[in-house]
Amino acid sequence: MCGIVGYIGKNPALPILFSGLERLEYRGYDSFGFCVLDDDKVDYFCKEKGKISDQCHIKDSHSIGNVGIAHTRWATTGMVTKENAHPHSNQDKDIFVVHNGIIENYKELKEKLISEGYAFASETDTEVLAHLIDKYFKGNLEDAVVEAIKEVRGTYGLAAVSTKDPNKIVAARMSSPLLIGVNGDEFIIASDPSAIITRTRQIIHLDDNEIAVLTDEDFTISKIEKETRCLNVTNKEIEMIEWDIEQAEKGGYEHFMLKEIMEEPNVIEDAIRGRINIEQANAKLGGLDSIQERLRGINNIVLVGCGTAYYACKVAEYMFEEYAGISARSDIGSEYRYRKTIMSKDTAGLFVSQSGETADTLAALREMKEKGILTIGVTNVVGSNQARETDAGVYTRSGPEIAVASTKAFIGQLTTLALMTVYLGRQRDMSHVMGERIINEISNLPELAEEILALKDDIKVIAEKYSHYRDFWFIGRKYNSAIALEGALKLKEVSYIHAEGTAGGELKHGPLALIDENCPTVAICPSDSVYEKMLSNIEEVKARKGKIIAIATKGNEEIRKIADDVIYIPKTLEMLTPILSVIPLHLFSYYVASALGRDIDKPKNLAKSVTVE
Ligand code: F6R
């Protein structure tokens, strides 16, 4: 996601902030900004769109201030503009804030602040923080920050400076990483160790609800408990990071792919943050507000995506038809763009893409627009072509995905599409009880996803056991038929092993001819409405001496008698099982590829974003 760096010490802050941001470049960003103070004056301030490397002159500016904060932004709330870049400030431009995370109640807070006379200069949620700090400022920055964050719901890692209370940085954390680098009498605050480790390896992690005050001599960390700021936390230990730069960028994991798989529970949390309305048993999707009424008249949805994003469309097809009461079908971007389709005016096109720049998906979108069809986007990248060209849409908020193979973005897409199912369903026949049930189950998913990730070492053992096979089959039915396709795609993509996925029922229509002891089958068979059917398919494979790796629901002991290996996933609603069943498949592919020593983050012949036909 976004990156934060702050410096206070005896040296000029700007070059240190600049190189800190440079080391956060790998995370991806679309704009950046700096604010350096020299005592009670702003010594340097700039915000730009684009890359820091294009603005190298910044570090040569004659800035001497020794306190500063800087930020790389990866847009979530508000487009990619200079105004939306951080730091954000109050109207008097004497309080400056950089922030990572999402302020869920920013719209209510913004309205209230506007009614109190505050004027806003950006579309971001972060700017609310700057004005709230201003509102509560009575001479002491940390007190104002404490008061401001009491009003905020959501997640934040933030750093603030002020010319009215100079020579300090105040930082606070709630569910968004923040750490302090300690280097003698200079301190660096950062969201990521890679921004720090060329200057110091001694770090202290801030925990949730903690607030740190850094000066050029010392720092203190306090806990905000029950709305009161207690005295210093005394038990914070300095840790030594042993990682090299490359490991630090990957959060200590060997590859971005593994780091991103491990982020999947957070991705679900971010996708649903502020989007659940329990009282109305509904999803709040602000991005669809402008077409809310038009959507009521929609009876068909055509979903379009490519590769993994297409498989998200396939899962949504089942969700929409079963729960939203809308007829749905999916198409691949490269197919849709060249075929003749019959589409009535009560049809909407729904485009799913991580990058929002996939050429075939965009071509299909333009083709549909040409025909006057309502277009909706599900995209990860704010301001991407897809986001700009669709009539409305919902961002998946999965954060930058660096590994070529899409993992966490797929989870973000499925979660967003599940929320959309509730939204569309509640506009139609879905009962309050059913809406509530789905919403509650979606809210439980982050915890359930964590449970699966805790099995990663067991999955690694299974992956290594099977890594010498040259062919694999993946089967699943109904909601998980598309997960069979995704499992096979992920395995071939990162391990270069031949793998194919089919709906379980299709086995006997051809693929069985290839099943023998040399071709293991991964069977996705949660305890759902098609479980018995999956058991029959597994029997068919076993009868041909094929090995079975089953992805089954926790508590199913029966499956152990027939499968060679079992990976358990927790129970959830049938329509949500894909969000859980795909996690072990991501790990399985990763560990097979790792056992084979593949270039996992950059598989041969593939690009992250396919912007050409
Ligand atoms: C597979 C993968 C690709 C992408 C596809 C669409 O792991 O990454 O199949 O899913 O190229 O990309 P987006 O989602 O950017 O449109």
Strands (E), 151-244: 156-162, 169-174, 179-183, 186-190, 202-205, 210-214, 219-225, 228-232, 239-240
Q: Is 610 in the pocket of ligand 1 (CB under 6 A)?
A: yes
Same domain? For 23 and 155 the reply is yes
Closest CA to 331 of 353, 302, 308, 360: 302
Same domain? For 488 and 441 the reply is no
For a pocket test of ligand 1, which of 382, 406, 582, 609 has the largest count of ligand atoms closer than 8 A to its C-beta? 406
pLDDT at 564: 98
Same domain? For 224 and 325 the reply is no
Same domain? For 445 and 535 the reply is no
pLDDT at 158: 97
Residue 578 reports pLDDT greater than 90: yes
| Residue 550 Cα to ligand 1 middle (Å) | 26
Q: Is 309 in the pocket of ligand 1 (CB under 6 A)?
A: yes
Determine the Cα–Cα distance for residues 451 and 453; give it in Å rounded to an integer. Answer: 6
pLDDT at 27: 76
pLDDT at 606: 84
For a pocket test of ligand 1, which of 314, 350, 358 has the largest count of ligand atoms closer than 8 A to its C-beta? 358
pLDDT at 90: 97
pLDDT tens string 315-363: 999 999 999 999 999 999 999 999 988 899 999 999 999 999 999 999 9
| Residue 609 Cα to ligand 1 middle (Å) | 7
Task: Using pLDDT thresholds of 50, 70 and 90, give the confidence band for residue 75.
Answer: confident
Determine the Cα–Cα distance for residues 599 and 257; give it in Å rounded to an integer. Answer: 11
pLDDT at 324: 97
- pLDDT higher at 143 or 229: 143
Same domain? For 227 and 272 the reply is no
Residue 556 reports pLDDT greater than 70: yes
CATH code assigned at 356: 3.40.50.10490
Determine the Cα–Cα distance for residues 141 and 410; give it in Å rounded to an integer. Answer: 41
Last residue of a domain, one of 428, 452, 476: 452
Residue whose Cα lies nearest atom 6 of ligand 1: it is 306
Considering 2, 306, 313, 525, which one is annotated as catalytic? 2
pLDDT at 61: 80
Q: Phi then psi for 65, rounded to 5 degrees?
A: -55, 145
pLDDT at 377: 98
Residue whose Cα lies nearest atom 5 of ligand 1: it is 307
pLDDT at 476: 98
* Alpha-carbon distances, residue 179 vs 14, 21, 32, 90 (angstroms): 19, 15, 20, 25
Same domain? For 421 and 466 the reply is no
pLDDT at 598: 96
**Average pLDDT for residues 570-575, to the nearest whole number?**
98
For a pocket test of ligand 1, which of 256, 353, 411 has the largest count of ligand atoms closer than 8 A to its C-beta? 353
**Average pLDDT for residues 269-273, to the nearest whole number?**
95
Choice among 118-122, 203-207, 255-259, 453-457 with the minimum mean pLDDT: 203-207
| Residue 406 Cα to ligand 1 middle (Å) | 6
**Average pLDDT for residues 255-276, to the nearest whole number?**
96
Q: Is 291 in the pocket of ligand 1 (CB under 6 A)?
A: no
**Average pLDDT for residues 256-260, to the nearest whole number?**
96
Residue 231 reports pLDDT greater than 70: no
Last residue of a domain, one of 211, 246, 281: 246
Q: Is 307 in the pocket of ligand 1 (CB under 6 A)?
A: yes
**Average pLDDT for residues 117-132, to the nearest whole number?**
96
Q: Is 609 in the pocket of ligand 1 (CB under 6 A)?
A: yes
Q: Is 176 in the pocket of ligand 1 (CB under 6 A)?
A: no
Point out the ligand 1 atom lying closest to the alpha carbon of residue 608: 8
Exposure string for 388-426, b = 16+ CB within 10 A, e = fewer: ebbbbbbbbbbbbbbbbbbbbbbbbbbbbbbbbbbbbbb
Same domain? For 461 and 427 the reply is no
Mean pLDDT of the chain: 93
Amino acid of residue 347: T
Task: Using pLDDT thresholds of 50, 70 and 90, give the confidence band for residue 230.
Answer: low
**Any idea what DSSP says for residue 483?**
H
Q: Residue 343 belongs to what domain range?
A: 255-452
pLDDT at 526: 98
Q: Is 377 in the pocket of ligand 1 (CB under 6 A)?
A: no
Q: Which two tokens stand for residue 441?
A: 């189950």
**Any idea what DSSP says for residue 513?**
G
Considering 49, 460, 554, 608, which one is annotated as catalytic? 608
- pLDDT higher at 600 or 77: 600
CATH code assigned at 124: 3.60.20.10
| Residue 174 Cα to ligand 1 middle (Å) | 32
| Residue 323 Cα to ligand 1 middle (Å) | 26
The total number of structural domains that make up the chain: 3
Residue 383 reports pLDDT greater than 80: no
Last residue of a domain, one of 404, 429, 452: 452
Residue whose Cα lies nearest atom 16 of ligand 1: it is 353
Determine the Cα–Cα distance for residues 577 and 503; give it in Å rounded to an integer. Answer: 16
pLDDT at 226: 56
**Average pLDDT for residues 3-10, to the nearest whole number?**
95
Point out the ligand 1 atom lying closest to the alpha carbon of residue 305: 16
pLDDT at 352: 98
| Residue 13 Cα to ligand 1 middle (Å) | 40
| Residue 405 Cα to ligand 1 middle (Å) | 7
Map residue 351 onto helix, strand or coil. strand
Residue whose Cα lies nearest atom 9 of ligand 1: it is 307
Same domain? For 438 and 462 the reply is no
pLDDT at 576: 98
Residue 469 reports pLDDT greater than 80: yes
pLDDT at 148: 95
Residue 92 reports pLDDT greater than 80: yes
| Residue 357 Cα to ligand 1 middle (Å) | 10
Same domain? For 544 and 613 the reply is yes
Point out the ligand 1 atom lying closest to the alpha carbon of residue 490: 7
Show Cβ contacts of residue 570 under 8 Å, excluding neighbours closer than 6 positions.
448, 451, 452, 553, 554, 580
For a pocket test of ligand 1, which of 605, 610, 611, 612 has the largest count of ligand atoms closer than 8 A to its C-beta? 610
Query: 2 an active-site residue?
Result: yes
Residue whose Cα lies nearest atom 10 of ligand 1: it is 308
Same domain? For 379 and 342 the reply is yes
| Residue 360 Cα to ligand 1 middle (Å) | 11
Point out the ligand 1 atom lying closest to the alpha carbon of residue 386: 16
pLDDT at 382: 85
**Average pLDDT for residues 460-484, to the nearest whole number?**
98
Q: Is 601 in the pocket of ligand 1 (CB under 6 A)?
A: no
Same domain? For 67 and 181 the reply is yes
Q: Is 295 in the pocket of ligand 1 (CB under 6 A)?
A: no
Residue 165 reports pLDDT greater than 70: yes
Same domain? For 57 and 171 the reply is yes
Closest CA to 569 of 560, 259, 579: 579
**Average pLDDT for residues 94-108, to the nearest whole number?**
94
pTM of the model: 0.85
| Residue 306 Cα to ligand 1 middle (Å) | 6
pLDDT tens string 518-546: 999 999 999 999 999 999 999 999 999 99
Q: Is 379 in the pocket of ligand 1 (CB under 6 A)?
A: no
Percent over 70 (pLDDT), the chain: 98
Task: Using pLDDT thresholds of 50, 70 and 90, give the confidence band for residue 240.
Answer: confident
Q: Is 375 in the pocket of ligand 1 (CB under 6 A)?
A: no
